[in-house]
Amino acid sequence: MTPLPIREVLFLCTGNYYRSRFAEVLFNHLMDQREQAWRAFSRALAIERGHENVGPISQHTRRELTGLNIALPEPVALPCGVCDADFSRAVRVIALKEAEHRPLMARCWPGWCDRIEYWHVHDLDAATPEQALGEIDLLVRKLVEELIRQAAAARSDA
């Protein structure tokens, strides 16, 4: 049997250091557990705003993943800014907070602004790491289940 092509989800946040990185790693872990042909990657919409970030990934993200017994992929990549090709390669694009990220999209990628999905997960200015990462956890798990259901429905229709 021919393996299914891998489909990709792009998670966006401001600095690609905290929220989007957690969503990416959790999504990939859950899809690997279910042996699904999905992968996530994450990018920054305004990487320059992360000039005070220490190391390649937030300690909050590391701590939460450790608590879930999810290993970070090694080596841990540095934050990366989004480019046009990233939007094109993803089947689904999700920005982590509409109020924060829609204006960045409108300014830098207006053609994509209304073609992506927006969640409503606050950054550290408005939520504790436990609140924000807990919310992302629930949203990612819901997304994984939705994508698996859609794939099953498509197979049964074929």
Domains of the chain: 7-157 (3.40.50.2300)
As a whole number, mean pLDDT of residues 24-42 equals 97
What is residue 152's predicted lDDT score, i.e. its pLDDT? 84
Give 65-98 pLDDT, tens digit per residue. 999 999 999 999 999 999 999 999 999 999 999 9
pLDDT of the residue at 2: 55
Nearest CA to 12 out of 147, 145, 148, 103 is that of: 103
Asked if 105 and 95 touch (Cβ cutoff 8 Å), the reply is yes
Mean pLDDT computed over 119-142: 97
Is the overall model pTM greater than 0.75, yes or no? yes
